[in-house]
Amino acid sequence: MALDADTRRAMLERVERFIREDVAPEAAAIDRADAFPRALFAKAADLGLFALGVPEAYGGLGRDIETPILLSERIARASAAFSLSFNNTTDAAVPILDAAQESIKRRYLPAIAKGAAIPCIAISEPQGGSDVASIRTVAVRKGDRYVIDGRKMWCTNAPVGDVFTVFAKTDQAGGHKGLSAFVVPAGTPGLVVGPAEPLIGLRGSPVAEVVFDGVEVPADHMLGAEGDGFRLAMLTLDESRLHCAATALGVATAALDLALGYARERVQFGQPIIRHQAIQSLLARRASELAAARALWREALARLLADHDRPASAYAGMAKLVCSELCMAITVDAVQVFGASGLSRNGTVERLMRDAKAFEIYDGTSQIQAAMIGKHLERHGLPFV
């Protein structure tokens, strides 16, 4: 059960205060230091943010898909990096919630709900990001255990992670049907996390390589049955694409708002630059496009909540594609409206522009979203008729 409307409203108000008073003042420093903000994470945990996606039976506030997605957008207006670190914890718990045995849920979910354990998801590899079926990491059954060997890349929150959901081949000839998923706690011998990759954007939301060198887990740490991995990865991605779209919308809204504020104040040729038709038209078009993208995201979310079917997956892909590409375009335009000061590291819009690029890449690149949507159109027609 998700939160009732009054409880959710009260929580959103508390979170708005947290964003305003704690996240926003830290955002530039998080980016500059490229350091995971542990104190903010702890405050978010105290507010119950990590309990939102977890059923009450496991110490959460109820399995609520909608509220964390709405919060991702609000947090991203202040700090996209913190928004990603927050929403990745929700996404990384999805395979555990969906497919873990009862004993595994009881072992890991209460700590995740409290924010005491940070879950991560390890799908991508050095040779295979978009092509999930090409995963080379293997899990071989030995008696009542699985032994996992392979290398994962770009795992969000890995340097601070406590529980890894790793996708590995249990049948190497089986393509995507040979994929299985496992829960591996940090500290398991053979699991080594590399240093955080220095990215141009989303700095402070650490991504890193994770090596599995003869990592042994009990067989009950498999999520679902052998071969369930691809289904679990796709299930997780439908939800995480709406988180990504939310984060992109938050950044785009912040960038457009800053650009608008500047255009109303900045005077050139004797009048505020918003009165120059080129700037006025640019802002008007972007505001209209952003309103349309926000409506698409809401529709995609409503469909996912109503019925997690094929059209809902297509909608999640469409929302991710449209919102991430629009965010990139709007942040570039925001820098343009600010002129030279838009490029200054002492301003904000340059950070938003650097952050925006990743939304077109993680959770499936724009090309992969388009390919998925295209496949849906070919097989099933338009998802809205």
Ligand X SMILES: Cc1cc2nc3c(=O)[nH]c(=O)nc-3n(C[C@H](O)[C@H](O)[C@H](O)COP(=O)(O)OP(=O)(O)OC[C@H]3O[C@@H](n4cnc5c(N)ncnc54)[C@H](O)[C@@H]3O)c2cc1C
Point out the residues that are catalytic.
91
Residue the block writes with tokens 């940090």? 186
Whether 349 contacts 258, CB under 8 Å: yes
Residue from 44, 47, 65, 121 touching ligand X (CB under 6 A): that is: 121
Nearest approach, Cβ of residue 186 and ligand X (Å): 15
Residue from 15, 319, 368, 373 touching ligand X (CB under 6 A): that is: 368
Nearest approach, Cβ of residue 297 and ligand X (Å): 19
Pairing verdict, β 222-223 and 179-185? antiparallel
Q: In this complex, which beta carbon is closest to ligand X, that of residue 126 or of residue 261?
A: 126
Residue the block writes with tokens 């998080």? 30
Residue the block writes with tokens 């979910």? 109
Nearest approach, Cβ of residue 121 and ligand X (Å): 5
Nearest approach, Cβ of residue 300 and ligand X (Å): 19
Strands (E) located in 170-296: 179-185, 191-193, 207-218, 222-223, 267-268, 271-272
**Residues 228-257: x where in contact with ligand X by CB under 6 A, - otherwise, as a string:** ------------------------------
Cα torsion 186, 206, 73, 280 to 10°: value is: -170
- β partners of residue 165: 121, 183
Identify residues 169-208 at the interface with ligand X (CB under 6 A): 202, 207
Max intra-chain CA distance, the chain: 80
Contact call for residue 367 and ligand X (CB under 6 A): yes
**Residues 70-89: x where in contact with ligand X by CB under 6 A, - otherwise, as a string:** ------------------x-
Nearest approach, Cβ of residue 16 and ligand X (Å): 26
Residue the block writes with tokens 């679990």? 232
Q: In this complex, which beta carbon is closest to ligand X, that of residue 47 or of residue 321?
A: 321
Residue from 3, 123, 283, 300 touching ligand X (CB under 6 A): that is: 123
Residue from 356, 364, 376, 383 touching ligand X (CB under 6 A): that is: 364
Residue from 27, 358, 372, 373 touching ligand X (CB under 6 A): that is: 358
201 Cβ neighbours under 8 A, 6+ residues apart = 80, 351, 353, 354, 355, 356, 357, 358
Q: In this complex, which beta carbon is closest to ligand X, that of residue 247 or of residue 337?
A: 247
DSSP state of 137: -
Q: How far apart are CA 175 and CA 167, in angstroms?
A: 13
157 Cβ neighbours under 8 A, 6+ residues apart = 36, 85, 88, 89, 92, 118, 119, 120, 205, 206
Contact call for residue 155 and ligand X (CB under 6 A): yes
Nearest approach, Cβ of residue 131 and ligand X (Å): 6
Stretch that binds ligand X, among 75-83, 120-128, 293-301, 336-344 (CB under 6 A): 120-128
Q: Which positions lie near ligand X, rule CB under 6 A?
A: 88, 121-124, 129-130, 154-156, 202, 207, 358, 361-362, 364-365, 367-368, 371
